């Protein structure tokens, strides 16, 4: 047990510098890059007085290091600042309004991409160098190259306009919005047993999450493929064969299970890709998540909100990678015991 404890502690400790570096990067990007953020925000034509006032408000008139310390200090207290437009709400509240939508989209996209990636990766990895292997490698590159907005629009055209089968935008029929519990509509409508809302939210989810899932599945195809090939070449697989175990159980129970461990350790990085892809998906499908929110605030030059949102992304990514590693530690007996 002690080795697990040390692992968890080191892993948690390692997250701190990572968050710290990312926060510093964000600070750097937001202030030190050429160009005055205030002018970037309000435009050249604003009056000098207004610019001065904003600079003061954002503490941009202080020395850089003072700003930096102040910035970290506020973050440490969970303060992301206040939005600069529309009622000046705390940024964290604004983010939390949009976060469930993104979470819902990415989780479903994640599920689709893993399922597709597993299926194609196993088909490829079972026989390295075979025709199917090549076909699946091509699949992985082709889907990854599908430019998300374009692919999303094509799906909208086919399933929304031609087949009239699925809605092309939004999260849910607004009249059916379920009672707010988690903010994740599928979950909320199940918790309140609201079937019309459930069906509406799933139908709205279909196209965006499929778009995201299919495009990112190519990465899993490659990961599953190479990991499976590696595992199937190991001694214990031959030992399994020497005991007359059925091929299916060798492939799935022994081969795939072992192959998934290294893939799991890379899930954190994959999730970052998912979040990036989600920005494009949300924009294409008018999905009211953090991605569209960020783009909207960039357009309105809401400096604090943009900064807060990126900080949120940074912390979220670091936490996801921490969680993934902890799950890995729990699953792999070599770490657990």
Residues 9 to 68 in contact with another protein, rule: CB under 8 A: 17-18, 21-22, 25-26, 29-30, 33-35, 37, 40
Tell me how far apart the alpha carbons of residues 336 and 1 are, in angstroms, rounded to a whole number: 7
Binding to another protein (CB under 8 A) within 251-280 occurs at: 254, 257-258, 261, 268-269, 272-273, 275-277, 279-280
Which residues from 218-247 bind another protein, rule CB under 8 A? 234-236, 238-247
Q: How far is CA 276 from CA 29, 183, 294, in A?
A: 18, 21, 12
Window 113-132: residues binding another protein (CB under 8 A)? 131
Provide the CA 282 distance to its chain's centre, in angstroms: 12
- Closer by beta carbon to another protein, 82 or else 222: 222
Minimum distance of another protein from residue 179's CB (angstroms) = 31
Q: Which is nearer to another protein, 159 or 202 (CB)?
A: 159
Instruction: Label residues 5-36 b or e (16+ Cβ within 10 Å = b).
Output: eebbeeeeeebeeebeebbeebbeebbeeeee
- HEC per residue, the chain: CHHHHHHHHHHHHHHHHHHHHHHHHHHHHHHCCCCCHHHHHHCCCCCHHHHHHHHHHCCCCCCHHHHHHHHHHHHHCCCCCECCCHHHCEHHHHHHHHHHHHHHHHHHHHHHHHHHHHHHHHHHHHCCCCHHHHHHHHHHHHHHHCCHHHHHHHHHHHHHHHCCCCCCCCCCCHHHCCCCCCCCHHHHHHHCCCHHHHHHHHHHHHHHHHHHHHHHHHHHHHHHHHHHHHHHCCHHHHHHHHCCCCHHHHHHHHHHHHHHHHHHHHHHHHHHHHHHHHHHHHHHCCCCCHHHHHHHHHHCCCHHHHHHHHHHHHHHHHHHHHHHHHHHHHHCHHHHC
**85 forms part of the interface with another protein (CB under 8 A):** no
Binding-site size for another protein (CB under 8 A) equals 78
Measured from the CB atom, is 35 or 180 closer to another protein?
35
* Choice between 108 and 285, CB closer to another protein: 285
Structural contact between residues 312 and 320, judged by C-beta atoms closer than 8 angstroms: no
CB of 56 to another protein, least distance (A): 20
Site string for another protein, 311-330 (x = CB under 8 A): --xx--xx--x---------
Q: Does 249 bind another protein (CB under 8 A)?
A: yes
Q: Which is nearer to another protein, 194 or 221 (CB)?
A: 221
Within 131-190, the residues that bind another protein by CB under 8 A are 131, 134, 137-138, 141-142, 144-151, 153-154, 156-157, 160-161, 168
Q: How far is the CB of 146 from another protein (least distance, A)?
A: 6
- Check residue 305 for interaction with another protein (CB under 8 A): no
* β-bridge partners, 82: 90
User: Considering the complex, what minimum distance in angstroms separates the CB of residue 285 from another protein?
Assistant: 11
With contacts defined by CB under 8 A, name the span among 61-69, 77-85, 198-206, 306-314 that binds another protein: 306-314
Task: Name which of 188 and 282 has its Cβ closer to another protein.
Answer: 282
Residue closer to another protein, measured from CB, 87 or 235: 235
* Minimum distance from residue 20 beta carbon to another protein (Å): 9
Closest separation between CB of residue 271 and another protein, Å? 9
Task: Report the nearest approach of another protein to the CB of residue 190 (Å).
Answer: 29
Question: Measured from the CB atom, is 205 or 256 closer to another protein?
Answer: 256
φ and ψ at 206, to 5 degrees? -50, -65
Least Cβ distance, residue 168 to another protein (angstroms):
7
The least CB distance from residue 270 to another protein, in Å, is 11
């Amino acid at each position: 047990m002690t080795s697990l404890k040390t692992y968890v502690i080191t892993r948690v400790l390692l997250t701190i510098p990572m968050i710290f570096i990312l926060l510093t990067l964000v600070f750097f990007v937001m202030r030190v890059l050429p160009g005055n953020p205030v002018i970037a925000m309000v435009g050249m034509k604003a009056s000098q007085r207004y610019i001065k006032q904003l600079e003061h408000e954002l503490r941009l008139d202080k020395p850089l290091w003072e700003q930096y310390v102040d910035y970290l200090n506020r973050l440490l207290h969970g303060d992301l600042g206040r939005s600069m437009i529309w009622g000046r709400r705390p940024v964290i509240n604004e983010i939390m309004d949009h976060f469930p939508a993104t979470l819902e989209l990415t989780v479903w996209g994640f599920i689709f991409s893993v399922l597709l990636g597993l299926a194609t990766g196993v088909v490829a990895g079972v026989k390295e160098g075979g025709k199917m292997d090549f076909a699946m490698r091509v699949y992985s590159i082709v889907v990854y190259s599908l430019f998300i907005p374009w692919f999303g629009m094509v799906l909208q055209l086919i399933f929304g306009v031609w087949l009239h089968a699925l809605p092309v935008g939004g999260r849910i029929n607004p009249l059916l919005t379920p009672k707010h519990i988690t903010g994740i509509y599928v979950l909320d409508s199940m918790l309140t047993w609201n079937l019309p809302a459930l069906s509406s939210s799933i139908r709205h989810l279909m196209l965006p999450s499929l778009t995201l899932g299919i495009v990112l599945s190519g990465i899993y195809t490659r990961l599953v493929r190479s990991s499976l090939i590696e595992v199937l070449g190991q001694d214990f697989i031959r030992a399994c064969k020497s005991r007359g175990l059925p091929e299916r159980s060798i492939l799935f129970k022994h081969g795939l299970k072992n192959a998934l461990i290294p893939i799991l350790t890379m899930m954190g990085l994959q999730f970052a890709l998912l979040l990036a892809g989600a920005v494009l998906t949300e924009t294409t499908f008018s999905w009211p998540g953090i991605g569209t929110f960020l783009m909207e605030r960039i357009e309105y030059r809401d400096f604090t909100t943009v900064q807060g949102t990126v900080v949120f992304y940074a912390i979220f990514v670091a936490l996801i990678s921490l969680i993934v590693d902890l799950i890995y530690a729990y699953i792999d007996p070599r770490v657990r015991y």
